[in-house]
Amino acid sequence: MKKNVILIVLLLVVMSCTDSVKSETAKNITSKEVEQFDNDRLFIIRYSNIIYEKNGKTIKIPIYQGTYGDVLYKDFRDYCLKMNYLEPKVRETGFIIKAKKGELRKTLHGFLDFYKGNILKSLIDKPTSMSCDGYEWFIFYDFVMAGLPCYMMIRFDTSEIDNENYRKYKTPYDIITNEDMENPNFSYSFSIGFKSTD
């Protein structure tokens, strides 16, 4: 009898903890936390973490410069649909990090350093692929969370120096960013349940 009572109490505690985690994620999203960028499928997201649910698993991805706690990816999507930022079955292109004029490279390095401290760790100097098409950089990082393959893509405009020297670069830290951009920024996105080569 005592064991049954203890078991019931433990189950109630676990259920209340689960409810509190759910209640701590954002449901009433506003333009303060999620801002559409340039009338495109790009967004500035100011949450600390975005939580994806895939194949019965929960993947919590930290967000650079985020300060507003956690948000479920589903709630982010619902907000974008409600605001007509996205259409059903259409994904966001990615998230945007804005930089001050002349500080794009510094901001990119801060971004890389942030992810070196969590999901990318020892991978930061060894992206899965790093390519330049003469207009844009594409950097892919494959990683695994909760047993699921995931990847992050970083994308930004090239500079003239990059176009001449990009084959010599070994890591993203070598890239000479385009500091002449009128609106300096770079985008990034996450794919959960896939490798960048899929």
Q: Is 2 part of a structural domain of the chain?
A: no
Task: For residues 90 and 103, give the distance between their C-alpha atoms in angstroms, rounded to a whole number.
Answer: 32
- Confidence band, pLDDT 50/70/90 cuts, at residue 25: low
| Pairing verdict, β 70-72 and 49-54 | parallel
On whether residue 66 sits in a domain, the answer given is yes
Is the predicted pLDDT of residue 166 greater than 50, yes or no?
A: yes
Contact 171/131 with Cβ under 8 angstroms?
no
Residue 153: enclosing H or E segment and its boundaries? Answer: strand 148-157
Please answer whether residues 62 and 70 qualify as being in contact, where contact means their C-beta atoms are separated by less than 8 angstroms.
Answer: no
9 within some domain: no
pLDDT for 14 beyond 80? no
Structure confidence at residue 162 as a pLDDT band (50, 70, 90): confident
- Is residue 116 over pLDDT 50? yes
Reply yes or no on whether the pLDDT at 91 is more than 50: yes
Predicted confidence at residue 36, as pLDDT, reads 95
Q: Is residue 45 part of a domain?
A: yes
40-50: average pLDDT: 95
- Residue 118 belongs to a domain: yes
Q: Is the pLDDT assigned to residue 16 strictly greater than 80?
A: no
Neighbours of 97 (CB within 10 A): 21
Copy the structure tokens of residue 11: 């189950």
Residue 117: domain span: 21-192
Mean pLDDT for 37-59 is 94
- Does residue 84 lie within any of the structural domains? yes
Task: Report how many domains make up the chain.
Answer: 1
- β-bridge mates for residue 95, sequence order: 43, 188
Helix/strand/coil for 107 = helix
Token digits of residue 50:
């975005």
Q: Is residue 11 part of a domain?
A: no
Mean pLDDT in the chain? 87
For residue 10, being part of any structural domain is answered with: no
Residue entry with tokens 């930004």: 156
d(CA 1, CA 141): 53
pLDDT beyond 70 at 18: no
